[in-house]
Structure 1
Amino acid sequence: MSSDPRDPAALIAALSDPVELTARLCDIPSVSGSETRLADAVEAVLHHISAGPGPELDVRRDGDTIVAGTRLGRGERVIVAGHLDTVPIEENLPSERRVLDGREVIWGRGACDMKAGVAMQLSCAHALREPSRDVTWIFYDHEEVEAALNGLGRVARRHPDWLSGDFAILGEPSLAGIEGGCNGTIRVEVTTSGVRAHSARAFKGVNAIHRAADILNRLADHRTETVRVDGLDYRESLSAVGIRGGVAGNVIPDECVVTVNYRFAPSTSLAAAEAFLREFFAPHPIRVTDGAEGARPGLDRPAAQEFVRAIGGTPQAKLGWTDVSRFSQLGIPAVNFGPGDAMFAHRADEHVECGQVVSATRSLLRFLEPTQAAGEV
């Protein structure tokens, strides 16, 4: 076997060991915009799996997004998706096996977000023999950057039929537990206006930065709610995340802009969230700079209920935004489920517990093929 981790043979050799596979995936750098090498390797692995003893896979590709699905004629189809890209490296590659607080971990960029989730996908695809449902595996690019580049969104626009399914699982880090749906998000700029003047004669002007105190006081006094949606509690937040203003050290500023981020429960639409903010900040004008709908958990669907039974534990609400929202917009209920603690995502000390990688892989395999022995992965 080649010692080069970029060689697909190195990944193929580790398919039965999701922990080692996680490390080898990490060692193929794939910062957003540079996913091609990893996408090529994953595509080769999927063709290898398709030629093996399990069900044949129909492997398709759009850019650096690969979609591989079974065609067994089952009554339902489950989508299992994960992104290939990571945020920039911070001297945390190559990966290492370490012991932290008495637990063995894979340490390195992407270990948590989300090469461990990708390893879970590939190991399960390799181990499946007679899945109870048809399965579509998705590995996509450009998740960590602006939404317009997102590979999953691109496939939804170009090939919506590739994303046909009844239930979706996104392998984002969730401590190997189920996090249903996600909050929506909207960012706006709230502007105050004033009159410029020389700061030595401040009484001749109107200070726009001082006027921003009204905006900040409203935010400080606001008490956000926890909203129950389909049995899960989504905690909302409304926060100033940026402020800019000022012309020069001797000029009273005539404009100040406060950037605000509102994370709202999935029972609220993006349009309703915008309407709330316009009323909340009136008469100050606002400009929407970014926004995305939330996603209801859909845990009332039969496939979702069976997934909960297979995984065990109590599902929690996903308080951040993830690509489960894209599936929700297609009418497909979706949950987040993957190894890793999201609190370590994007950090220099990013890591994932080896035990979680194994348990998440076994749990997913148990759901997809209930008759398979859990010890096979």
Structure 2
Amino acid sequence: MTELEDLTTRLVSIQSHEDPTAAGDAIESWLRAETNAAITRDDAGNVIARRGNGRSLALVGHHDVVPPADSQVEGEEYVVEERDGRLYGRGTADMKGSVAAMLLAFRDADPAGELVFASFVGEEEGGVGARAAIEDGFAPDYAIVGEGSMGYSAPGVLDVAVAHKGRRGSTLLATGESAHASEPEKGENAVYRASDAVDVVRDLAVPETTVMGSTMAGSLAVTGIEGGTAWNVIPDACEVTIDERTVPGERASLERTEDVPGVEWRVDQDLPPMRCDDEGFASRVVEAADAVQSGVAEPVTKPHATDAGWLADAGTTTVVCGAAEPGEAHTAGESVALDVLDRVRRCYERVASNWSGREG
């Protein structure tokens, strides 16, 4: 078993869907044993390590996971199995495998500038740890976030995501006045008001943008509607849920729904999109990915929101590069290829070792 496989197996085996503390403890202990970096553990539970001086490059991951399937748990640990060159288990792809690769690259690289390692909590809960770290002053100049970027340009190719979509989840709250359904004119039907607001949503333009040659289009969808209390009562309340995938720049003009009488628009979650603002940095990571594989890496866009959005929103130049393949994360058969883990480790180390501290 290689050092990378062993470290990944150890991290994956630790339960961290309800409480990521033990996984953070293991990461912190490894850093203290294997490096002479300055290590901090903030109140949120994030593990952050730094070494060197100059402009900073951060390798960023997260050690929380989504709840496992029953087959992925045995006693107090997650089940981790190696079969045919792949590691299976909750968190192998998303994203303790990439965290392990980042730890080894952080230890082994010899950059001229400052190198930072960060593993956050609460990524699966909307970026809780990333936001806490940023509020506490975490502000690297550049970052590679280890979410999946495998297989976007072609199967088996490690790509580099230079942008990703965000997600804004919102609710339309329509109010009316109840009445007996035999005399509907004496009430104000909240479902009708909600329907009028849905018509507004249907007609809204969805923004799109181009990032380094790749076009990203947002999306907008009504995903649920609930209203009414009985078949013979005019409803006085109705709620409509909306899923919006956002792109860097403009948003869909959902505030127009409030032009409908009795309708209020409420934003429930807003995960920011990401766009790398330095083509030179993106090219450097793409070149590193090229150097560690036979396939040709491409700058690509990613449909899912990640902690990279919070970092980019706070001013960090960010790309996404990691071992997860499409369709692996959050599944009962979640797995990661060991050769891909090695590939991303060498990519991270290559970028970090060539870091001069004078970028920008």
Correspondence 1:155 to 2:136 = no
Give the direction of change, closer, same or farther, for the CA distance of 1:215–1:355 in structure 2 (3 Å limit): farther
Are 1:196 and 1:206, in contact at CA under 8 Å, matched by a contact in 2?
A: yes
State the shift of 1:308 in Å.
Answer: 2.0
C-alpha separation between the residues in 2 aligned to 1:108 and 1:249?
A: 48
State the shift of 1:77 in Å.
Answer: 1.9
Partner of 2:210: 228
State the shift of 1:96 in Å.
Answer: 3.6
C-alpha separation between the residues in 2 aligned to 1:217 and 1:298?
A: 36
State the shift of 1:370 in Å.
Answer: 5.2
C-alpha separation between the residues in 1 aligned to 2:26 and 2:5?
A: 18
State the shift of 1:339 in Å.
Answer: 0.4
C-alpha separation between the residues in 2 aligned to 1:281 and 1:22?
A: 50
Partner of 2:259: 282
Percent of residue pairs identical? 27
Letter of the 2:302 counterpart? K
Partner of 2:105: 124
Q: Deviations over 1:143-194 (max 9, x none)?
A: 21255xx222212222x1xx34321011112214211233233222223333
Give the direction of change, closer, same or farther, for the CA distance of 1:254–1:324 in structure 2 (3 Å limit): same
State the shift of 1:31 in Å.
Answer: 1.2
Q: Deviations over 1:44-100 (max 9, x none)?
A: 1001111xxxxx3111111321111112x3x5321011111111121213334355x
Correspondence 1:104 to 2:82 = no
Normalised to the residue count of structure 1, the TM-score between the two structures is: 0.80
Partner of 2:344: 360
Partner of 1:307: 285
Q: Secondary structure of the residue that 2:274 maps to in structure 1? A: coil
C-alpha separation between the residues in 2 aligned to 1:357 and 1:181?
A: 22
Partner of 1:18: 4
C-alpha separation between the residues in 2 aligned to 1:30 and 1:201?
A: 56
Q: Deviations over 1:95-131 (max 9, x none)?
A: 34355xxx63222111111111111112222333x23
Partner of 2:15: 29
4+ long deviations beyond 6 Å: none
Correspondence 1:137 to 2:122 = no
Are 1:177 and 1:315, in contact at CA under 8 Å, matched by a contact in 2?
A: yes
Normalised to the residue count of structure 2, the TM-score between the two structures is: 0.83
Give the direction of change, closer, same or farther, for the CA distance of 1:224–1:303 in structure 2 (3 Å limit): closer
Aligned positions of 1:153-302 closer than 5 A: 153-158=131-136, 160=137, 163-175=138-150, 176-202=158-184, 204-220=186-202, 224-268=206-250, 273=251, 276-279=253-256, 282-283=259-260, 284-300=263-279, 302=280
From 308, 322, 327, the counterpart of 1:338: 322
Q: Secondary structure of the residue that 1:121 maps to in structure 2? A: helix
State the shift of 1:225 in Å.
Answer: 4.8
Letter of the 1:311 counterpart? A
State the shift of 1:135 in Å.
Answer: 0.9
Q: Which runs of 5+ in 1 are unaligned?
A: 1-13, 51-55, 372-377
Are 1:311 and 1:367, in contact at CA under 8 Å, matched by a contact in 2?
A: no
C-alpha separation between the residues in 2 aligned to 1:142 and 1:151?
A: 5
Q: Which runs of 5+ in 2 are unaligned?
A: 151-157, 291-296, 356-360
Are 2:165 and 2:302, in contact at CA under 8 Å, matched by a contact in 1?
A: yes
Q: Secondary structure of the residue that 2:148 maps to in structure 1? A: coil
What is the number of equivalent residue pairs in this alignment? 334
Partner of 1:53: none
Greater relative CO, 1 or 2 (CA 8 Å, sep 6+): 2
Are 1:295 and 1:324, in contact at CA under 8 Å, matched by a contact in 2?
A: yes
Q: Secondary structure of the residue that 2:269 maps to in structure 1? A: strand
Q: Deviations over 1:249-304 (max 9, x none)?
A: 43221221111122221123xxxx37x1112663243122222432222242x433
From 41, 54, 57, the counterpart of 1:61: 41
C-alpha separation between the residues in 2 aligned to 1:308 and 1:298?
A: 15
Give the direction of change, closer, same or farther, for the CA distance of 1:116–1:257 in structure 2 (3 Å limit): same
Are 2:173 and 2:265, in contact at CA under 8 Å, matched by a contact in 1?
A: yes
Q: Secondary structure of the residue that 1:172 maps to in structure 2? A: coil
Greater alpha carbon shift after TM alignment, 344-353 vs 58-67 = 344-353
Greater alpha carbon shift after TM alignment, 259-268 vs 107-116 = 259-268
Partner of 1:10: none
Q: Secondary structure of the residue that 1:209 maps to in structure 2? A: helix
Are 2:212 and 2:299, in contact at CA under 8 Å, matched by a contact in 1?
A: no
Letter of the 1:121 counterpart? M
Q: Secondary structure of the residue that 1:42 maps to in structure 2? A: helix
Q: CA RMSD in A?
A: 2.5
